[in-house]
Structure 1
Amino acid sequence: MYLGIDLGTSGVKALVIDEAQTVVASATGALTVSRPHAGWSEQDPADWIRATQEALATLKRSHGKALAAVRGIGLSGQMHGATLLDAADTSLRPCILWNDTRSHEEAAALDADPRFRQITGNIVFPGFTAPKLAWVRRHEPDIFARTARVLLPKDYLRLWLTGEHVSEMSDAAGTAWLDVEKRCWSPQLLAATELGEDHMPRLVEGTEPAGTLRGELADRWGMGRDVVVAGGAGDNAASACGAGTVKPGAAFVSLGTSGVLFAANGAYLPNPESAVHTFCHALPGTWHQMGVILSATDSLNWLSRITGASPAALTGELGETLRAPTGVTFLPYLSGERTPHNDAAIRGSLTGLAHQSDRAALTQAVVEGVAFAFRDSLEALRRAGTTLSRVTAIGGGSRSSYWLKAIATALGLPVDVPAEGDFGAAFGAARLGLVAARGADPLAVCTPPRIAATVEPEETLTPAYEAAYRRYRELYPAIRGATT
Structure 2
Amino acid sequence: MYLGIDIGTSAVKLVCADTDCILATSSVGIKTSSLQPGWSEQHPDLWWQATRDALRMLADKIKLSEVKAIGLSGQMHGAVMLDRDLRPIRPAILWNDSRATFECDELRMTQPQIGQIAGVLPLPGFTAPKIAWLKKHEPANYARLAHILLPKDYIGLRLHGELATDTSDAAGTMWFDQASRSWHVGIAEDTGVSPDWLPQVFDGHRVVGAVTAQAAAESGLKSGVPVVAGGGDAATGAISLGATEPGRGFISLGTSGQLFVADRKYKPNPERYVHAFAHTLPERWYQMAAMLNGARPISWIGGQLGLSASEVVALAETVRGDRVPIFLPYLTGERSPLGDPHIRACFFGLEDSTTRADICRSVLESVAFCFADAAQSFGDTMGSLSELAAIGGGAQSDLLLKLIATATDKPIVRSEGAETGPAYGAARLAACGDGAVAISDLAFQPPTTDRFEPAEMALLFERLAQFRRLYAAIKNVS
- Describe the superposition over 1:98-128 as per-residue Cα deviations: whole angstroms up to 9, x where unpaired: 1111111111221233132231121111100
- Describe the superposition over 1:188-208 as per-residue Cα deviations: whole angstroms up to 9, x where unpaired: 111111222211000100111
Confirm or deny: 8 A CA contact 1:325 1:468 kept in the other structure. Answer: no
Give 1:106-125 correspondences, 5 Å limit: 106-112=103-109, 113-125=111-123
Letter in 1 for 2:33: S
How far, CA to CA, are the matches of 2:443 and 2:420 in structure 1? Answer: 10
Deviation of 1:402 after TM superposition, in Å, equals 1.1
The secondary structure found in structure 1 opposite 2:358 is helix
Letter in 2 for 1:4: G
How far, CA to CA, are the matches of 2:208 and 2:81 in structure 1? Answer: 20
Letter in 1 for 2:81: L
Give 1:179-190 correspondences, 5 Å limit: 179-190=177-188
Give 1:76-475 correspondences, 5 Å limit: 76-112=73-109, 113-218=111-216, 223-319=221-317, 323=320, 326=323, 328-382=325-379, 387-419=384-416, 423-438=420-435, 440-459=437-456, 461=457, 463-475=458-470
Matched, 1:9 2:17: no
Which ranges in structure 2 are unaligned for 5 or more consecutive residues? Answer: none
How far, CA to CA, are the matches of 2:72 and 2:161 in structure 1? Answer: 14
Letter in 2 for 1:480: K
Alpha carbons of structure 1 residues 294 and 466: separation in structure 2 relative to 1, 3 Å = same
Match of 1:476 in 2: 471
The farther-off stretch of 257-266 and 413-422 is 413-422
The secondary structure found in structure 2 opposite 1:198 is helix
Q: TM-score, normalised by structure 2?
A: 0.95
Alpha carbons of structure 1 residues 223 and 471: separation in structure 2 relative to 1, 3 Å = closer
- Describe the superposition over 1:144-175 as per-residue Cα deviations: whole angstroms up to 9, x where unpaired: 12211111111111111111110111001110
Q: TM-score, normalised by structure 1?
A: 0.94
Confirm or deny: 8 A CA contact 1:381 1:387 kept in the other structure. Answer: no
Letter in 1 for 2:365: E
Confirm or deny: 8 A CA contact 1:71 1:226 kept in the other structure. Answer: no
How far, CA to CA, are the matches of 2:142 and 2:20 in structure 1? Answer: 43
How far, CA to CA, are the matches of 1:298 and 1:257 in structure 2? Answer: 5
Deviation of 1:405 after TM superposition, in Å, equals 1.0
How far, CA to CA, are the matches of 1:142 and 1:128 in structure 2? Answer: 22
Letter in 2 for 1:46: D
How far, CA to CA, are the matches of 1:390 and 1:175 in structure 2? Answer: 29
Confirm or deny: 8 A CA contact 2:22 2:417 kept in the other structure. Answer: no
The secondary structure found in structure 1 opposite 2:477 is helix
Alpha carbons of structure 1 residues 354 and 7: separation in structure 2 relative to 1, 3 Å = same
How far, CA to CA, are the matches of 1:418 and 1:254 in structure 2? Answer: 12
The secondary structure found in structure 2 opposite 1:123 is coil
Matched, 1:68 2:82: no
Matched, 1:45 2:50: no
Letter in 2 for 1:474: R
Count, aligned residues: 477
The secondary structure found in structure 1 opposite 2:475 is helix
Alpha carbons of structure 1 residues 420 and 438: separation in structure 2 relative to 1, 3 Å = closer
The secondary structure found in structure 2 opposite 1:482 is coil
Letter in 2 for 1:16: C
The secondary structure found in structure 1 opposite 2:113 is helix
The farther-off stretch of 20-29 and 341-350 is 20-29
Which ranges in structure 1 are unaligned for 5 or more consecutive residues? Answer: none
- Describe the superposition over 1:67-90 as per-residue Cα deviations: whole angstroms up to 9, x where unpaired: 111111100011111111111112
Deviation of 1:216 after TM superposition, in Å, equals 3.0
How far, CA to CA, are the matches of 1:310 and 1:157 in structure 2? Answer: 30
- Describe the superposition over 1:278-333 as per-residue Cα deviations: whole angstroms up to 9, x where unpaired: 1111111111111121122221222212222322222212438x947545211111
Identity %: 40
